[in-house]
Chain A
Amino acid sequence: MTSDTPIIQVRDLSFSYNGQPALVNVSIDVPDKEFLAIIGPNGGGKSTLVKLILGLLEPDSGKILVRGRSPKKMAHCFGYVPQDVNINIHFPISVIDVILMGRLRHRGRGRINAEDRQKAMETVQLMGIAGFENRRIKDLSAGQRERVFIARALATDPDILILDEPTAGVDTSGKTELYHLLGKLNETKTIIVVSHDLMIVSSYVKSVACVNQTVHYHPGNEITEAMLDMGYHCPVELVAHGQPHRILKTHGDF
């Protein structure tokens, strides 16, 4: 497959929860090695769109193709960091066992072997949580847990990395560090980041999708006037920076 073919194609997609439309007639193409930021208000359907792409939800109508096939068949391509990393916080599970979940059924294998453990330890190093492997998940801070979940997603060796609000429990320096890492990973992987925090639309991001029932796709990482005008109730901090519509340009553009 050439690099010109989109890695993810979404066509006329609609989805509703108990009759309440969440997404209406959505079409987007995500090119290979894209770094896409999905933004929009809470309840606008960002997480729903991601779960549809992952094949965790079934669309009411329309279709999604990942490398030309249905998402369920391509589930092994995805590394997924869910929105809530604090689920089941009191569950008796160690950090390394959470990360090893990412190695489950790797290339169809059922069991965890030495290679899987080595791969898991590599992601532990990469995420800077070495020394925490044998701690219980409840004994970590929220920021550390976030890193564990990213490590788990990376342990799957994904082509497409999808992170749902990964910066929720992370401080500013942690965010910068995380995006630096994602920028590096983007050299080999397609990355999709969901956020309601427009600060994340950093220089690493290559395109932006605004989601509020419908989706508007913007190649390039600027937040344009048109996007603000669509009534996305953009967060105050964007405007408060004093350079509305411009602050998110790449550094070289200034």
Chain B
Amino acid sequence: MQNALLAAVLASLICGIIGSFVVVNRLVFLAGGIAHAAYGGIGLAFFFGIPYIYGTIGVSLVAALIMTTVAITAKNRADTFIGVLWAVGMAMGVILLDLTPGYHTDLMSYLFGSILAVPSTDLWWMFGLGVVTVALTVFFYRDILAISYDAEFAKLRGVPVNLLYFVFIALVAVSIVFIIRVVGLILVIALLTIPPYIAEQYARSLMAMMFFSVILSLVFNITGLWVSYQWDLTSGATIIMVAATGFFISLGISRIIALIRKNASDDPGVFRG
């Protein structure tokens, strides 16, 4: 249980920061593509008998590289390409596992993870990843902000836009791999998108959005763990349900705020600007 809590804290830290980058850059589909394609890495690792982590990191980095190249050079074709790689990665994983005699991983644990059985070595990996993520984000904060908001202007100011884009998407890929090991593929997408989406509505800066996302993610993870422990439910799925509840509550609250503002203001709004 102690490892599970530590994993939840580290996953929240990484997902809050990386997820905010993914959401403001509209890379959710790309992140989903990387996460699914990474399954091909599992097949590859088992087929060739190499450590699981090298297979998944290798495949997810290659997938991220191809997807980002397409996203930069042929923007209007990027979604199709990501969709294809998404499916190819999964299919490759399934077939390679078919061809591997003996032990087969459980697809369910890949989808939902097992936060209650996280080994300490994984925690160290995640700790290292968390440190790298925070350091890169703090150091390149203004550049990342400029690239995400207006890449053309950033380029004009001499920011190495494409290079930084590649570096941060590589970071997204590696984060996804480690977090899948802990919480599974479905939860990684949920944690990457739900807290940043809620935070984006109230945050005045990208930094604040990242901070709120980490906190929200932490709340969802801990609450989910506690609920799953109390009622003996699958932890990954419970955390997702808690996050989804948070998502719908936030939708409701923003609706109510919008209604109150509409009623309170005499400004017709249409004539603004």
Contacts and interface: CB of A to CB of B under 8 A. Distances in A.
B205 A101 contact: no
Contacts of B208: 92
Interface residues of B, number: 25
8 contacts: A87-B150, A88-B148, A92-B208, A93-B149, A97-B145, A102-B157, A104-B158, A108-B158
Contact of A105 (B24, B152, B159): B159
Interface in B250-273: 272-273
A92 B24 contact: yes
B205 A97 contact: yes
Contact of A98 (B149, B155, B157): B149
B145 A101 contact: yes
B209 A92 contact: yes
A101 B206 contact: no
Given A93-B145, A100-B142, A101-B157, 18 more contacts: A54-B156, A55-B156, A80-B153, A80-B156, A82-B152, A87-B150, A88-B24, A88-B149, A90-B200, A91-B149, A92-B206, A101-B149, A101-B154, A102-B157, A104-B142, A104-B158, A104-B159, A105-B157
A14 interface: no
Given A75-B157, A80-B153, A104-B154, A92 B203 contact: yes
A220 interface: no
Interface of A: 54-56, 75-76, 78, 80, 82, 87-88, 90-94, 97-98, 100-102, 104-105, 108, 111-112, 134, 136, 141-144, 152, 156, 169
Interface of B: 24, 142-143, 145-146, 148-150, 152-159, 200, 203-206, 208-209, 272-273
Most A Cβ at <10 Å: residue of B146, B156, B206, B272: B156
B203 A156 contact: no
Contact of B152 (A56, A92, A93, A144): A56
Nearest to B152: A56
Contacts of B146: 101, 104
| Chain B residues touching A, majority SS | helix
A56 B149 contact: no
B153 A82 contact: yes
Contacts of A112: 142
A63 to B, nearest CB: 19
Given A75-B158, A142-B273, A91 B153 contact: no
Contacts of B153: 80, 82, 101, 152
Nearest to A86: B273
B27 to A, nearest CB: 14
Contacts of B149: 88, 91, 93, 98, 101
Given A92-B208, A111-B142, A169-B273, A82 B150 contact: yes
Contact of A141 (B24, B143, B272): B272
The 7 closest A-B pairs by CB, nearest first: A141-B273, A142-B273, A104-B157, A92-B203, A105-B158, A141-B272, A92-B209
Contact of A144 (B158, B200, B273): B273
Contact of B205 (A87, A93, A152): A93
Contacts of B206: 91-93
B204 A136 contact: yes
Contacts of A87: 150
Contacts of A104: 142-143, 146, 154, 157-159
Contacts of A108: 158
Nearest to B156: A75
Contacts of B200: 90, 92
A194 to B, nearest CB: 15
A80 to B, nearest CB: 6
Most B Cβ at <10 Å: residue of A87, A90, A104, A152: A104
Given A105-B157, A141-B272, A91 B152 contact: no
B65 to A, nearest CB: 23
